[in-house]
């Protein structure tokens, strides 16, 4: 038992938190030792001697949670959204004072999303054309999705490094906006459809050929392999890590 990684969950009664609890309990080498939600004291994490804390809570409380955990020397795996550069800088400052502690912040824990982004960076250098289509259930408030926007920026950077300009486009008439959004000069299209869950297509095109990378998330469980991987890796990775891709041997 000594060798098990002791895991606490913040936001334990939320939908993602419930998945995390079940996944940790079923995983080899991990022990679920604390379940904390909004009405519970965070000290329960320390009392239970948690080593790693998984936070799927809310943008309004995540920074407080992280300050507490870092101060207490708890490693963190964070899936809560809402991290901008300012927040990441603040977090990095706290970690500078606690050099042994590791925190991972990731916008998407699905392996397929992470692999898609990595493949997108690799493919982007070779194709004159690229567009992104993301497709989600109709209850989503934002368009485009954070993952699509992030992917567009990665693609744009890779294209710039390869000396590629804008994708060719002879469109002269598009009164109604059918050509979608430009994110870092990459076209992104957002579909909202009943029956869908979370899907993304990256389309690359060149002379006589196209390459399509499609990721389909059909269930919240798809995030769990990434969360478990992160829990296992973060104990040996001090400082701030942004993006699950940094933990994968790609």
Q: Which residues are annotated as a binding site for NAD(+)?
A: 11-16, 47, 79-81, 106-109
Binding site feature residues: 11-16, 47, 49, 79-81, 106-109, 137, 146-147
Backbone angles phi, psi at 63, to 5 degrees: -70, -40
Count of residues making up the chain: 250
Residue 71 CB, shortest distance to a second copy, in Å, is 34
Residues 165-184 that bind a second copy (CB under 8 A): 167-174, 176-183
- Per CB under 8 A, which of residues 185..224 are in contact with a second copy? 187-197, 203-224
Sign of CA dihedral 197, 83, 111, 148: positive
**Nearest CB to a second copy, comparing residues 61 and 115:** 115
82 phi and psi, to 5 degrees?
100, 15
Residue 189 bridge partners (DSSP) = 133
CB 53, min distance to a second copy, A: 23
Partners of 75 in the β-ladder: 52
136 tagged catalytic: yes
Choose which of 50, 62, 101, 133 interacts with a second copy (CB under 8 A). Answer: 133
By beta-carbon proximity to a second copy, the closer residue of 22 and 96 is: 22
Catalytic residue among 75, 136, 189, 199: 136
- Catalytic site includes residue 140: yes
Question: Are the CB atoms for 200 and 147 separated by under 8 Å?
Answer: yes
Question: Strand 52-55's sheet: what is its strand order?
Answer: 30-36, 5-10, 52-55, 75-78, 102-105, 239-242
Cβ 178 to a second copy shortest distance, Å: 4
Mention every residue, 6+ apart, whose C-beta is less than 8 A from residue 137: 192, 193, 194, 195, 196, 197, 198
Please identify, among the stretches 52-60, 79-87, 110-118, 232-240, the one whose residues bind a second copy according to the rule CB under 8 A: 110-118
Q: Does 82 bind a second copy (CB under 8 A)?
A: no
The catalytic site residues sit at 136, 140
């Amino acid at each position: 038992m000594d060798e098990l990684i002791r895991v606490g969950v913040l936001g334990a009664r939320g939908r993602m938190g419930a998945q995390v609890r079940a996944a940790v309990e079923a995983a080899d080498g991990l022990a679920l030792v604390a379940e904390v939600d909004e009405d519970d004291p965070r000290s329960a994490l320390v009392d239970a001697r948690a080593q790693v804390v998984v936070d799927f809570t809310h943008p309004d409380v995540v920074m407080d949670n992280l300050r507490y955990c870092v101060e207490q020397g708890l490693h963190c795996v964070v899936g809560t959204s809402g991290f901008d550069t300012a927040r990441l800088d603040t977090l990095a400052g706290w970690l500078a004072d606690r050099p042994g502690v590791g925190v991972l912040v990731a916008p998407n824990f699905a392996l397929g999303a992470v692999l898609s982004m990595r493949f997108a960076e690799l493919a982007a250098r070779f194709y004159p054309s690229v567009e992104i289509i993301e497709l989600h259930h109709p209850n989503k408030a934002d368009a485009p999705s954070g993952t699509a926007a992030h992917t567009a920026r990665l693609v744009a950077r890779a294209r710039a490094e390869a000396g590629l300009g804008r994708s060719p486009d002879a469109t002269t008439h598009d009164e109604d906006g059918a050509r979608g959004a430009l994110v870092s000069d990459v076209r992104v299209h957002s579909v909202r459809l009943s029956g869908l869950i979370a899907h993304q297509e990256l389309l690359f095109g060149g002379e006589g050929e196209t390459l399509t990378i499609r990721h389909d998330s059909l269930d919240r469980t798809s995030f769990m392999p990434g969360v478990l991987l992160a829990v296992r890796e973060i104990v040996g990775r001090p400082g701030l890590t942004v993006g699950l891709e940094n933990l994968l041997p790609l």
